Structure 1
Amino acid sequence: MKTKNIFKYFMLLVLTLQLNSCVSTEAEQKFEETPTERLNKQRSELSNLLLSSENGWKAVYYTDDSQLGGFTHLFKFLPNGKVDMASDFDSDTEIYNSQYEIQLGSTVSLVFTTKNKIHLLSDSNNSPLAAGKGFLGDFQFLYYGQENGDIVFRTNRTVKEVRFVKATAQDWTDLKKNTVINANMTGDINSPLFRILETTNGGSVKKYEFSFNSVTRFGSAIPLEAENSETLKAAIAYTPTGITVKPAVVVGNQSLTDFTYNAIDKTFVATGTNGVSASIKFTNAPPRLTDDYKIFLEGGPQITIGYIAANLATAATNSPYAKSILDKVNATLAANQKLARVQIAFNDPLNGNYIAYTFNGGKAPIYHFFTTTEDPVNKTIILTDDGWIGTPAARAFLKILDDEITNPKGLYLKKESFTIFYTNVIYTYASASTPFRLTNYRF
């Protein structure tokens, strides 16, 4: 072999040995830290992070967005292992102090060690879903690092991602506004009974029957048009100005997540571009109108339906507004007297149509006769006054109840699919102008 070639191979050998030596040194340096040292380094990193934000951190915690909405929590971590915390879990948005630790296990975790607002989501005595499981929440969060200024955690029990973002002073001030939005979304006894989700894409409109559980903060939307088969789910979190929904409502090629509350018409509206929008609104009219009322019109069969307080007072289909009306009627009666029945007879061959108000405690019944007409467009039946048995003074206490049943806008009648105590068919009637709905047996 020529000397020149020998020298070339020698230099390659030297270079290879140097390269291997370099790699070996880096590897040795990399593994100079023990697992415990690496965890301690992470613990120090997390501790510094938690203390670094002037106004603390905010997390919108979705414990399970397939069935529960989001709950906003604010945290201000203090150097002595204390933490100030507030949340919109309920109407109490005050700040409470408790303790936290950064613990070492197989990884580094943030643990809220004494009771505070975050523990309301894991309290087994506070279970909106399966008994004993609380709101499926956690109070131990595994540290996964940083991303774009956020602290990224995963929950210990369910391994769901939770992000802490830097809070502002305004976040703490505005948290109580979330509870106002909560009340607006939930409604009160005077709010219409039904909700509709409506999406608009230019000239194309889709409507959905929207149901919402205020406890779980979760809603579902069932399409009202036969050609639309898409059912939507919505895990809802409150903001100072409205709600956010998860997953986004997709309209055309746009994803809408932020709905702003309009106090004038009490709607929640998300606005996209180029005529795209979505809105959630209350309505007195049932989203699905039926012809169930027609059987009660003049010329139909003899039918009697009745609200019996002993069996139907707790029916879920009685609206809070209707129950408040019944309570007001009962409050005017003597201590041993209560409204026992509100029984409505249609097409009785002897007495025609009448409402019979009967009472416990020996009070005599009161009868109100009526005629029936229909509103075929709005699918309501209208009960029109046709005289009373009893003087105006004797029946004055019934006016607030009777006015609901005989209101000139009419009643929506619905044959229900469930039974209560007995096998009798259940009918509900709801006012076309107020949130009055009462549950009845058919006799």
Structure 2
Amino acid sequence: MKVKNIIKYLFATFLMLQITACNNDSTEAEPLFDKSPTERLNARKAELNNALLSSEFGWKAVYFTDNTVLGGYTHLFKFSADGKVDMASDFDSDSKIYKSEYDIQLGSTVSLVFTTANRIHLLSESDNYPIPALRAKGYLGDFQFLYYGQEDGQIIFKANRNGMEIRFVKATAQDWTDLPKNLVMEQNVIGAASRPLFRLLETNDGATKHQFDFSFSAVTRFAEANSLEAGFSFSYELGIGYSPTGIVVNPAVEVGGQKLSVFTYNDADGSFTATGTGGVSATIRYSTKPLVITDDYKNLLSGKPQLVLGYIAANLYTAPTTSILCRSLLDKANATLPANQKISRVQIYFNSAFGNYIEYRFNGGRPSVYHNFTTSENATNKTLVFTHDSWDNGAAYIPAPAFLKELDDEFFNPNGMYIKKENFTITYSNPIWTITSFSTNFRITTYQL
């Protein structure tokens, strides 16, 4: 046989084999398409419906609407076959059970939709927002969950709004009973006024420990932890969810290749600890002094250029670095004033043409008052010491205003104040400075103006 004919024969044989293979593949693939798209969606709908009704005590979900800016909100659901759902949450102090309606809807996929108002909708209302940065966005939540299947007894959804994953786990009778304890735990996360002001996150990979400054915002249930070590630049941003025994964080803290997300509370020292294997752990605990003591106070001493630091209530009252004691003293001073005349600013001038002074500025047309002072340093403590000079109203000397005494006294602690230029901003691009008492839990957050 000629070479040319051999090649033709081999080529024809190859084609026949390919056609046979394709026919076999087609035959085997046919069962994949034995149902129409509508039939498949209906089957998924029935699957989800059966799952929702299968748990005796319903389902629990810690819903992290956006773990880059907000924490988690625990919701409990008990679904009924008549389209009703009992629901409770730890969104706020109201943990009572409310009834509403739900539906399993068909679209491009199957979704669970909470069709009438209930606790879940508090996270999706655009006019209900925790911080100015989320104005008109609310808590970034959703009430339509796209169904993605089941895994290890859990029902997996993704929010229609932003694709965040939500996992339903089977609830217990105790979950419903204990839900109010989440709000008790919230106070432990915030920290009692009797606890030290400073906190750190310490990780241990079984061989090496690392420490991070830790700050928590109760209004957003969000925490930040930044490395304290030179040459080790790392940070965590953590959404916080509450439980009766501690907290759950999202994303998890990764230590030594292990992901730690469940932290248990220790009331003896106020710490929260997550434990892995092989000595791996992460602990959030208190410190009695700042974790980083800077020389930033030297920028405010006599002879330095003018610097103005201003607390603006509208933006900085809720700042995580504004301490509970500071807020309580502001509230106490404001409580003595008419409703429209609250403290709007505490503005501190260093080395101005008129010297050093604290301006207390008010809303509602109430005139400012000024506390004049001199400065010195406590080099041992690395603090700035304010020394009283006089009070005035811009036109004449006045007696010290009694309603400001407790707040104002914090600035004049004889041991001085820690001064720190922070490495973050709030709402605006102005640098943030914190002023912290050496010996009390007072810390105020200010902009450099």
Instruction: Give the TM-score, by structure 1 length.
Output: 0.72
Aligned-residue sequence identity (percent) comes to: 53
Q: Tell me what 1:4 maps to.
A: none
Residue 54 in 1 paired to residue 56 in 2?
yes
Q: Tell me what 2:121 maps to.
A: 119
SS at match of 1:45: helix
Of 253, 263, 269, 1:265 maps to 269
Q: Tell me what 1:144 maps to.
A: 148
Give the direction of change, closer, same or farther, for the CA distance of 1:253–1:37 in structure 2 (3 Å limit): closer
Q: Tell me what 1:12 maps to.
A: none
Contact 1:284 1:435 in 2 (8 A): no
SS at match of 1:49: helix
Of 39, 58, 80, 1:78 maps to 80
Q: Tell me what 1:41 maps to.
A: 43
Contact 1:306 1:341 in 2 (8 A): no
Contact 2:200 2:286 in 1 (8 A): yes
Of 229, 232, 236, 1:232 maps to 236
Distance 1:442 1:108 in 2: 52
User: Aligned letter for 2:413?
Assistant: N
Contact 1:235 1:246 in 2 (8 A): yes
Distance 2:431 2:104 in 1: 60
Q: Tell me what 2:418 maps to.
A: 412
Post-superposition Cα deviations, 1:361-388, rounded to whole Å, max 9, x if no partner, equal 99998888x8956152x42245689x99
Structure 1, unaligned stretches of length 5 or more? 1-19
Distance 1:106 1:71 in 2: 28
Residue 177 in 1 paired to residue 166 in 2?
no
Within 5 Å, which residues of 2 pair with 1:309-348?
316=316, 319=323, 321-325=325-329, 328=332
Aligned length: 406
Q: Tell me what 1:7 maps to.
A: none
Distance 1:43 1:320 in 2: 49
Distance 2:360 2:110 in 1: 68
Give the direction of change, closer, same or farther, for the CA distance of 1:203–1:127 in structure 2 (3 Å limit): same
Q: Tell me what 2:383 maps to.
A: 380
Residue 436 in 1 paired to residue 418 in 2?
no
Post-superposition Cα deviations, 1:8-57, rounded to whole Å, max 9, x if no partner, equal xxxxxxxxxxxx99x96x98777554443333333233222211211011
Deviation at 1:322, TM superposition (A): 3.0
Q: Tell me what 1:245 maps to.
A: 249
Distance 2:259 2:189 in 1: 21
Q: Tell me what 2:406 maps to.
A: 400
Deviation at 1:345, TM superposition (A): 8.1
User: Aligned letter for 1:431?
Assistant: S
Distance 2:448 2:67 in 1: 41
User: Aligned letter for 1:92?
Assistant: D
User: Aligned letter for 1:226?
Assistant: A
Q: Tell me what 2:199 maps to.
A: 195
Deviation at 1:303, TM superposition (A): 8.5
SS at match of 1:59: strand
Contact 2:64 2:250 in 1 (8 A): no
Give the direction of change, closer, same or farther, for the CA distance of 1:429–1:107 in structure 2 (3 Å limit): closer
Of 96, 107, 116, 1:105 maps to 107
SS at match of 1:301: coil
Distance 2:48 2:267 in 1: 42
User: Aligned letter for 1:245?
Assistant: V
Give the direction of change, closer, same or farther, for the CA distance of 1:74–1:441 in structure 2 (3 Å limit): closer
Q: Tell me what 2:10 maps to.
A: none
Q: Tell me what 1:17 maps to.
A: none
User: Aligned letter for 1:119?
Assistant: H
Instruction: Give the TM-score, by structure 2 length.
Output: 0.72
Distance 1:94 1:151 in 2: 24
Post-superposition Cα deviations, 1:174-200, rounded to whole Å, max 9, x if no partner, equal 211122222322346666554321223
Deviation at 1:290, TM superposition (A): 1.4
